[in-house]
C-alpha cells in the first residue's frame, strides 16, 4: 500500500506544539512585533513527531511511505493528515480537494479531531480518535478502517519502533537559537502529564507513561549514528518529573559517550543544582519552563501548583552560570488576572531575565477541563484563533483589546531592554 503523510501548514506555524493542537507566534502589528515574529520563524523548523512514528510502523510491514507538504498526492492508496486548530480552514480545503480530485482514502489524526470528530466525519473516510499508533498497527496489516476509530493510549512505549526520519529532509530541521547545532530533531521519552493544570492540552491523550532508559538511549544512539543528529529536544511535557530517571538517562548518555546537545521541557521544582550539573555534563544546553504568573493565587485557580520564588530564582541563576539557556513561559489573561497582576508578571519576567521569554494569551483548548468550565463565555467560532495569541473568550476583568495590548507590550518590552541585550552580548563573549 502506498501511504502519504500530508503536512498542511503555513510558514511560521507549528502543528506539533501545544499538545498537538498547534500554535502560531502572532505577537502584534507594530514594527518591533513583526521583527520579533520574523526572527522567530527564521530559525525554527520542526518535524511532526507523529508522522515519524507512523512511518516507522507502516514501513515494518513493507508499505511505501511518502511525506509531502501543501500538495495533493496523485497516486496514494491512503492519505493521512494530522489536523490542528491553527490550520483548520486550510486543512478542510485540502481534504475537500482530495475527495474531489483523487480516489485516495483519507484518514485524520490528532487531538483536535479526537475531541471534535463531528467536524470532520462528512469529509474523511476514517478518524483516529486518540493516540494514532494502536490504530496504525491494524492499518499496516491491511485493515482499512471506516468512521470513528477509537485508538487506545500506548501503554508500553518501548514497543513502538523508533520514529522514521528517513522520509524527511532532516538536514533542514533546526531549533535556532535555542539549540543551534544541526541537524536537529525531537525525541519523546514519556507521554502525558502528571500535573492537574486545567488548561493543559497534554492530558487529552492519556495519562503519564515512560519509556525505559535503555530504549531512550538506543534511540539517541540511532539518531547520532544514522542521521548525524547534533542536537535534539525532548518532547516530554515534564522531562525531570522522575528525577532518578532523568539522572539515569544522563548517566547513560555519558557512559555511552553519545556526543549530542539536548534540551527539555520541565518544571523548575523538579530540578536542583546537583541534577543540573549531571544533566549539563551529558549535554543539556536548554530548558523550557512554565512560570505562567507571578501570582500564586491565580495559578491555584487554574489548578497549577505554584513554585517557590526563591527556588525559581536559584535554578535560573545556576543555569545562567552553567551556560544552560532558559526559555520561560508566561500566560496573560488567566481566569482571575487583572491589569495589576499582568503588570506584576511582566515585571517579574524581566527580573528573571531568562534567555528567552514566551508570553501567550490564556486559551481554552477543546478537550481540556478549562474549556468545559468557560465554554459559555467563548465568543470566537473560528478555530484558527485558538492559537494562544488571540483572545477567544470574554474575560472577567479585561477586554480583548487590553489582552492584545498586554501581549504585545510584554514581548516587545522584554526583548528591547538593555539588560536583556547585555546578557546576550556577554554570553557570546564567554
Residue 236 belongs to what domain range?
Answer: 169-429
Q: Are 365 and 388 in contact (CB under 8 A)?
A: no
Whether 158 is in a domain gets the answer no
Q: Could you tell me which of 422, 385, 382, 428 has the C-alpha nearest to residue 403?
A: 385
Is the domain of 145 the same as that of 181?
no
Is the domain of 143 the same as that of 174?
no
Is the domain of 137 the same as that of 202?
no
pLDDT at residue 52 tops 90: yes
Whether 41 is in a domain gets the answer no
Whether 39 is in a domain gets the answer no
Is the domain of 358 the same as that of 295?
yes
pLDDT at residue 42 tops 70: no
SS (H, E, C) 65-128: EEEEECCCCCCCCEEEEECCCCCHHHHHHHHHHHHHHCCCEEEEECHHHHHCHHHCCCCCCEEE
Q: For residue range 207-229, list pLDDT tens digits in order.
A: 899 999 999 999 999 999 999 99
pLDDT at 421: 85
**Which band of pLDDT confidence, cut at 50, 70 and 90, is reported for residue 427?**
confident
* Stronger pLDDT, 407 or 27, i.e. the higher one: 407
- Domain-ending residue, one of 150, 180, 199: 150
pLDDT at 96: 96
Whether 324 is in a domain gets the answer yes
**Which band of pLDDT confidence, cut at 50, 70 and 90, is reported for residue 11?**
confident
CATH of the domain at 391: 3.20.20.70
Is the domain of 206 the same as that of 339?
yes
N- to C-terminal Cα distance for the chain? 54
Give the percent of the chain with pLDDT over 90.
Answer: 81
- Domain-ending residue, one of 123, 150, 177: 150
pLDDT at 356: 94
Is the domain of 100 the same as that of 249?
no
Q: Are 24 and 12 in contact (CB under 8 A)?
A: yes
* Stronger pLDDT, 343 or 47, i.e. the higher one: 343
Q: For residue range 121-152, list pLDDT tens digits in order.
A: 999 999 999 999 999 988 877 778 899 999 99
**Mean pLDDT confidence for 162-166:** 95
**Which band of pLDDT confidence, cut at 50, 70 and 90, is reported for residue 331?**
very high
Is the domain of 361 the same as that of 329?
yes
Whether 388 is in a domain gets the answer yes
pLDDT at residue 35 tops 90: no
Is the domain of 116 the same as that of 260?
no
Whether 156 is in a domain gets the answer no
Whether 115 is in a domain gets the answer yes
pLDDT at 227: 94
pLDDT at 429: 65
Whether 325 is in a domain gets the answer yes
Residue given cell 515534564 in the structure block: 238
Is the domain of 174 the same as that of 58?
no
Q: Name the 3-class secondary structure at 183.
A: coil
Distance between CA atoms of 376 and 37, rounded to whole angstroms? 32
pLDDT at residue 27 tops 90: no
Distance between CA atoms of 326 and 315, rounded to whole angstroms? 10
pLDDT at residue 25 tops 90: no
Distance between CA atoms of 288 and 19, rounded to whole angstroms? 15
Is the domain of 293 the same as that of 361?
yes
- What is this structure's pTM? 0.94
- Give how many domains the chain has, as a whole number: 2
CB neighbours of residue 22 within 10 Å = 27
Is the domain of 210 the same as that of 259?
yes
CATH of the domain at 74: 3.40.50.280
pLDDT at 54: 96
Q: For residue range 65-80, list pLDDT tens digits in order.
A: 999 999 999 889 999 9
- Domain-ending residue, one of 150, 183, 206: 150
**Mean pLDDT confidence for 255-266:** 97
Distance between CA atoms of 383 and 386, rounded to whole angstroms? 6
pLDDT at 216: 98
Q: For residue range 292-321, list pLDDT tens digits in order.
A: 999 999 999 999 999 999 999 999 999 999
Is the domain of 141 the same as that of 228?
no
- What average pLDDT does the structure give for the chain? 93
Cell of 397: 476583568
Amino acid at each position: 500500500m502506498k501511504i502519504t503523510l500530508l503536512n498542511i501548514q503555513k510558514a511560521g506555524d507549528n502543528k506539533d506544539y501545544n499538545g498537538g493542537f498547534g500554535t502560531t507566534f502572532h505577537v502584534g502589528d507594530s514594527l518591533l512585533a513583526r521583527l520579533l515574529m520574523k526572527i522567530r520563524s527564521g530559525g525554527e523548523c520542526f518535524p511532526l513527531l507523529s508522522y515519524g512514528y507512523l512511518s516507522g510502523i507502516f514501513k515494518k510491514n513493507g508499505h511505501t511511505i511518502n511525506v509531502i507538504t501543501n500538495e495533493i498526492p496523485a497516486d496514494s492508496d491512503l492519505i493521512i493528515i494530522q489536523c490542528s486548530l491553527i490550520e483548520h480552514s486550510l486543512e478542510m480545503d485540502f481534504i475537500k480537494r482530495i475527495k474531489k480530485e483523487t480516489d485516495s482514502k483519507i484518514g485524520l489524526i490528532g487531538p483536535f479531531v479526537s475531541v471534535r470528530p463531528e467536524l470532520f466525519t462528512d469529509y474523511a473516510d476514517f478518524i483516529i480518535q486518540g493516540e494514532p499508533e494502536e490504530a496504525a498497527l491494524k492499518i499496516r496489516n491491511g485493515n482499512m478502517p471506516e468512521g470513528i476509530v477509537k485508538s487506545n493510549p500506548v501503554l508500553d512505549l518501548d514497543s513502538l519502533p523508533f520514529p522514521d526520519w528517513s522520509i524527511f529532509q532532516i538536514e533542514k530541521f533546526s531549533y535556532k537559537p535555542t539549540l543551534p547545532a544541526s541537524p536537529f530533531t525531537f525525541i519523546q521519552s514519556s507521554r502525558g502529564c502528571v500535573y492537574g493544570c486545567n488548561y493543559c492540552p497534554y492530558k487529552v491523550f492519556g495519562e503519564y507513561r515512560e519509556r525505559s532508559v535503555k530504549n531512550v538511549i538506543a534511540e539517541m544512539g540511532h539518531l547520532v549514528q544514522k542521521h548525524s543528529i547534533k542536537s535534539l529536544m525532548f518532547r516530554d511535557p515534564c522531562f525531570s518529573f522522575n528525577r532518578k530517571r532523568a539522572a539515569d538517562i544522563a548517566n547513560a548518555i555519558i557512559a555511552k559517550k553519545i556526543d549530542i546537545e539536548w534540551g527539555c521541557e520541565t518544571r523548575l521544582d523538579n530540578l536542583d543544582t546537583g541534577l543540573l550539573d549531571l544533566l549539563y555534563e551529558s549535554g543539556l544546553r536548554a530548558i523550557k519552563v512554565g512560570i505562567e504568573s507571578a501570582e500564586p493565587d491565580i495559578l491555584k485557580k487554574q489548578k497549577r501548583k505554584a513554585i517557590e520564588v526563591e527556588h525559581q530564582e536559584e535554578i535560573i541563576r545556576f543555569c545562567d552560570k552553567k551556560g544552560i539557556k532558559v526559555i520561560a513561559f508566561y500566560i496573560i489573561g488567566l481566569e482571575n488576572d487583572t491589569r495589576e497582576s499582568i503588570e506584576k508578571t511582566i515585571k517579574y519576567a524581566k527580573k528573571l531575565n531568562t534567555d528567552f521569554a514566551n508570553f501567550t494569551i490564556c486559551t481554552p483548548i477543546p478537550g481540556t477541563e478549562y474549556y468545559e468550565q468557560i465554554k459559555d463565555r467563548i465568543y470566537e467560532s473560528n478555530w484558527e484563533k485558538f492559537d494562544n495569541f488571540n483572545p477567544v473568550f470574554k474575560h472577567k476583568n479585561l477586554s480583548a483589546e487590553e489582552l492584545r495590548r498586554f501581549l504585545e507590550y510584554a514581548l516587545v518590552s522584554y526583548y528591547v531592554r538593555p539588560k536583556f541585550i547585555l546578557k546576550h552580548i556577554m554570553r557570546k563573549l564567554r
